[in-house]
Amino acid sequence: MAETRNDKVIVLQKLDSADNDVRVVFYSLRGGKMILNARGAKKITSKLSAHLEPYNLTELMIIESKHGATIGSAVSRQVFANLKSDWEKLHAAGRVFFWFNKFIKAGEPDRVLFFGLLDCLTILNAIKAPAVYYQWLADIFLFKLLAHLGYQPSLSTCNRCHQPFGQTLVYFSATAGGLVCFYCSRLIGGQAGPDRLVIKSETRAQLALILKTKFVDIIKIAKVRPGIARDLRILLDFWLSSALS
């Protein structure tokens, strides 16, 4: 006999499926990441489709049977209309969802991740700012996501020799798996290149502030400085690639 349960979800992605069905990727409060089938959602008359759009916060009724789980009903609780009507906001949110989807495994619920993702959508939906600010917020969320998942590097000591950083240059090294001092970077070989990135002291200080501050509070205390924002984006790209390798 089929059983039903309710769950709050954030819609991550819609996937093509056979016939008139749609497969939808969610991150749910109680179940974590899941992929469910929405029967008939491609039909013009479907009552489900509008509630299963990416970026929606939706209340689901999930039907569990011996054939698997399917969506029984869906009601949108927040559609983030301002975000969806602004291409720059959508671009920032899309970057967040792309990497979130890559890193998060199915069936591992985490309230911190759920409400963190919801906070990110809520802030992007509410604010009005230059495009660089939206991208900066997306990068901050991804830094905090990586740290929460256990990829946070030490910002005060070398990941290779474990000595405190002095006044010498500091590098991010994918090979070493974090920040390394100038001397260890020479042992790894060569100058800054595809595997290593010079990290300025100002960039480290900003990153330290980001990692120790709640996401919803960062916009109150951290200011966007284009040079540092650019350096943080480069560091984040190195860090994301290193974490996935």
What are the angstrom distances between the C-alpha of 123 and each of 160, 213, 239? 38, 16, 24
Distance CA 1, CA 64 (A): 9
Residue 192 falls inside a structural domain: no
Instruction: Output the pLDDT for position 243.
Output: 82
Give one word for 80, left, alpha or beta, with left for phi > 0 and alpha for psi -120 to 50.
Answer: left
CATH of the domain at 24: 2.40.50.140
Contact 218, 140 (CB under 8 A): yes
Give per-residue burial for 200-217: e unless 16+ CB within 10 Å, then b. Answer: eeebbebbeebbebebee
User: Domain end: 16, 43, 78, which one?
Assistant: 78
Are both 93 and 148 inside the same structural domain? yes
- For helices 201-212 and 131-146, give the axis angle rounded to 10 degrees: 70
Instruction: Output the pLDDT for position 44.
Output: 67
- pTM (2 d.p.): 0.88
Residue 110 neighbours by CB under 8 Å, 6+ apart: 32
Are both 86 and 133 inside the same structural domain? yes
Number of domains in the chain: 2
What are the angstrom distances between the C-alpha of 15 and each of 111, 217, 218? 25, 34, 34
Distance CA 13, CA 11 (A): 6
Q: Which two tokens stand for residue 197?
A: 């990135």
Contact 203, 224 (CB under 8 A): no
Residue 74 falls inside a structural domain: yes
Domain that holds residue 22: 3-78
Instruction: Output the pLDDT for position 195.
Output: 59
Distance CA 8, CA 207 (A): 32
User: pLDDT 10s digit of each residue in the chain, 245 long?
Assistant: 678 889 999 999 988 776 777 889 999 999 999 998 887 677 766 788 889 999 999 999 998 877 778 888 899 999 999 999 999 999 999 999 999 999 999 999 999 999 999 999 999 999 999 898 999 999 999 999 999 999 877 888 998 899 998 777 888 887 777 888 888 888 876 554 445 678 888 888 888 888 889 888 887 776 778 788 888 898 898 888 878 87
Instruction: Output the pLDDT for position 139.
Output: 94
Are both 8 and 40 inside the same structural domain? yes
Are both 145 and 67 inside the same structural domain? no
Are both 58 and 86 inside the same structural domain? no
Are both 113 and 141 inside the same structural domain? yes
Are both 122 and 143 inside the same structural domain? yes
Are both 73 and 24 inside the same structural domain? yes
Distance CA 118, CA 78 (A): 10
User: Domain end: 54, 78, 102, which one?
Assistant: 78
Residue 125 falls inside a structural domain: yes
Report the residue count for the chain.
245
Distance CA 157, CA 166 (A): 9
